[in-house]
Structure 1
Amino acid sequence: MLPEIAEVKYFSGKRPDEIYTSLDMSVNFTFTDLGISGNDQDTRLVTGLIKNANPSYEFFEENEDVEKDVIIHRFDFQSYGIDDEAYNIMYIACTGNNLVQGIFSCMYKDRKEWERAALEVIKTVSQYQGGR
């Protein structure tokens, strides 16, 4: 995603380290090295904190996947934007000793056609080396 577009879409001072988007910007993948060390248990703790901080979201499932000895803790939810509803999958993984957070998002109405592909991309977080 071009930096000037990222500034508008992610208007807070803290933007993801890596942002990948579709040409129409309706589908996004983000990856962020949280800059803290942790372990697999911490992924569950961070997940709980994120969920508790966002009570207006409608949460669906919570899962753990193991890819190349990396536990990826993920959950999906529906959020609400200015003009439409979004489907999101947020995930936390401990790669080495670093905690990495990622988010997949698309229009809620398109979630069925994107969910499987998103889960395949999320599995690759075990290879993430960080954007810092």
Structure 2
Amino acid sequence: MLPENFVPILPEIVEVKYFSGKRPDEIYTSLYMSVNFTFTDLGISGNDEDTRLAAGLIKQIIRNANPGDEFFEESEDIEKEVIINRFDFKSYGIDDEAYNIMYIASTGNSLIQGTFNCLYRDRIEWKRVALEVIKTVSMYHGGK
């Protein structure tokens, strides 16, 4: 349940913004492209332990690649029988700081990796919205 003014990102923007070979399956952005949600079906099923391990591994990879990133909260939530392990952090870009939430959700059928990011200065405005969107991953992907 994304905010109504979010749209799929244009393919030519994807190649610039996500320049590595592996890109998320779905990327939605705000009208000014400063706020983004991504969703990737990992194509495997998993349980609560799998989500915990995967989220921890992703966090460690980010920490190793970007030792200057500042990590905040970690949590495990259950929404409509979907287990969601998430963490948030501040990262540094070329021209600005970003606020990020990364998560792994087990819908029973598959593991979903998702991200949210916005400008760090806008995090207070967007964090609650992002957490509400993350809760709805179970509604969108649970029936797949």
**Please, which runs of 5 or more residues in structure 1 have no aligned partner?**
none
Distance 1:70 1:36 in 2: 15
Matched, 1:20 2:32: no
1:44 correspondence with 2:52: yes
Deviates more, 1:91-100 or 1:121-130: 121-130
Percent identity over the alignment is 78
Residue 77 of structure 1, CA deviation: 0.4
Q: Mapping of 1:60-71 within 5 angstroms?
A: 60-71=72-83
Aligned residues: 130
Paired amino acid for 2:124: K
Q: CA RMSD in A?
A: 1.2
Q: Any unmatched runs of 5+ in structure 2?
A: 1-8
SS at match of 2:19: coil
The whole-number CA distance in structure 1 between the counterparts of 2:134 and 2:141 is 14
1:124 counterpart (112, 131, 136): 136
The higher-RCO structure (CA 8 Å, 6+ apart) is 1
What is the distance in 2 between the residues matched to 1:32 and 1:127?
15
Q: Tell me the SS of whatever aligns to 1:101.
A: strand
Distance between the aligned counterparts of 1:12 and 1:128, measured in 2?
26
Aligned residues of 2:98 and 2:120 also touching (Cα < 8 A):
yes
Secondary structure of the residue aligned to 1:128 is helix
Using the size of structure 1 for normalisation, the TM-score is 0.94
Is the CA contact (8 Å cut-off) linking 2:81 and 2:107 kept in structure 1? no
- Per the TM alignment, residue 37 of structure 1 is displaced from its structure 2 partner at its CA by 2.2
Task: Give 1:78's aligned residue.
Answer: 90
Q: Report the residue type matching 1:12 in the other structure.
A: S
Three-state SS of the structure 2 residue aligned to 1:76 is: strand
Q: Distance in 2 between matches of 1:122 and 1:4?
A: 26
Q: Contact 1:95 / 1:128 at 8 angstroms: preserved in 2?
A: no
Q: TM-score, normalised by structure 2?
A: 0.86
Aligned amino acid, residue 40 of structure 2? T
Q: How big is the shift at 1:62?
A: 0.4
